[in-house]
Structure 1
Amino acid sequence: MSDTSSTLRIVWIYPDLLSTYGDQGNVLVLRRRAELRGIPTEVVRVHSSDPVPVEGDIYLLGGGEDRPQILAAQRLRADGGLKRAAERGAAVFAVCAGYQIIGETYGDDAANPLPGVGILDVRSGRGDTRAVGEIVADVDPALGVGRITGFENHQGRTSVGPSAKPLSTTVLGIGNDGATEGAYQGQVLGTYLHGPALPRNPALADLLLRWRVGDIQPLPPSWGERLHDERLAAVL
């Protein structure tokens, strides 16, 4: 965990700009699953007027509309704290607009390419149609997560560069391009999954914890696992 504390520091980036689809749920579930294992946690909320601390363990970014997305990307690039945190080994979990802006480039509302934060080797632009609806995908077996479920609502299309890997293979829905969904590079992970993603996929939350804590004890199945199975059964 952090070099300066035995407490797991969860940093929620720009909830005033990037929290369109209940993204606080990702914060709550991550914290809860850590505390159930006896891991002390601290949640740091970083608004767009605040500097991004470098000492965090897991950084969370959510979804946002076009204009807030552009503002968030500009401020994160100027601040530099998120990039420095990723370079020192922090985990990053970014959803939808957050996923696009941590990449190399993304498209604005007029399809013009804009520079991203540059911590994930992906490039995003605007597709001809909007992807809306339930999405199911099989995560790269190397990550040990299995099948994930979520809701997508985006017009973005994302290509994954050679330094990153697709997070998953799409079973239902569009994701990046109709074939893959999300991407990861080291301990930086991006996805189009809303829902929010971590309440619907507790194994994904546990992956983030393992990245920062190491081996963690399994938890008995609870409402998160039931919700995951319910959504899969409902859409497949």
Structure 2
Amino acid sequence: MSDTSSALRIVWIYPDLLSTYGDQGNALILRRRAELRGIRTELVRVLSSDPVPVEGDIYLLGGGEDRPQILAAERLRSDGGLKRAAERGAAVFAVCAGYQIIGESYGDDADNPLPGVGILDVRSGRGETRAVGEIVADVAPELGGGRITGFENHQGRTAVGPSAVPLSRTVTGIGNDGQTEGAYQGQVIGTYLHGPALPRNPHLADLLLRMRVGDLAPLPPSWGEALHQERLAAAL
């Protein structure tokens, strides 16, 4: 953590612009799974009018429509706080519009390329068709593997550059390009999965926690694991 004597700081970025699909659930489940293990947490909500603090441990970005996405990208680039936090080793988890804008570039509603924040080596544009529906994918083995599930609703198509690695391989659904879903680079993770993603995939939430606190005590199976299995069964 940023300070071993302090709480784990979970920073929820721009909920006024990037929270179209209930992505607040990602912050809530991270906090819950940390506190069940006796890890104190602090949830910091950063509005688009506020500076992004550099001292956080886990940064979360959600989904949004085209215009809020552009505004969020412009403000994050001019602010610089998220990029500095990533450079000092913070974990970042970004969903859909958030995933696109933390990359090197993304497309506006006319598919004109716009600069991203530049903390993940991906480039996104618009596909010919919209990807809508349940998606299932297998996480990269080096991240611990496992199958993830979510709901995608996007027209983006994302190319993963040489400095990043696909987060997972699609079993069903579109994701980046019909073959891979999401990307990661160090402790920065991007994905198209809504649902929200972390409540539907508790092991993915634990992956983010381990990035900042190290080994975690196991938790007994609960509603999160049951939801994960129910959604997998429904999608396959």
- Report TM bin, short chain: over 0.9
CA deviation profile, 1:75-133 (whole Å, cap 9, x unmatched)? 00000000000000000000000000000000000100000000000000000000000
- Corresponding residue for 2:229? 229
State the distance in 2 between where 1:94 and 1:82 align: 12
- Residue 44 of structure 1 corresponds to which residue in structure 2? 44
CA contact (8 A) 1:145 1:203 kept: no
Code of the residue aligned with 2:219 in structure 1: it is L
Gaps of 5+ in 1: none
Cα offsets for 1:45-78 (capped at 9, x unmatched): 0000000000000000000000000000000000
Structure-2 residue corresponding to 1:179: 179
Matched, 1:137 2:137: yes
Q: Deviations over 1:179-224 (max 9, x none)?
A: 0000000000000000000000000000000000000011000000
Within-5 A mapping of 1:24-173: 24-173=24-173
Q: TM-score, normalised by structure 2?
A: 0.99
Offset of 1:5 from its aligned partner?
4.5
Cα 1:16–1:75, aligned 2, differ >3 Å: closer, same or farther?
same
* Alignment match, 1:11: 11
Q: Distance in 2 between matches of 1:27 and 1:2?
A: 18
Q: What secondary structure, in the 3-state scheme, does the structure 1 residue paired with 2:171 have?
A: strand
Any conservation in 2 of the 1:10–1:56 contact (CA below 8 Å)?
A: yes
Deviation at 1:6, TM superposition (A): 2.4
Rounded Cα–Cα distance in structure 2 between residues aligned with 1:86 and 1:190: 13
What is the deviation of 1:4?
Answer: 7.2
- Structure 1 counterpart SS, 2:71: helix
SS at match of 1:184: strand
- After superposing on structure 2, the runs of 4+ consecutive aligned residues of structure 1 that deviate more than 4 Å are none
Residue of structure 1 equivalent to 2:218: 218
Separation in 2 of the partners of 1:131 and 1:191? 13
Native 8 Å contact 1:145 1:204 kept in 2? no
AA in 1 matched with 2:16: D
Residue identity over aligned pairs, in percent, reads: 89
Instruction: List runs of 5+ in structure 2 lacking aligned partners.
Output: none
Q: Distance in 1 between matches of 2:4 and 2:34?
A: 18
Q: Distance in 1 between matches of 2:5 and 2:137?
A: 36
* Partner SS, residue 169 of structure 1: strand
| Secondary structure at 1:93 match in 2 | strand
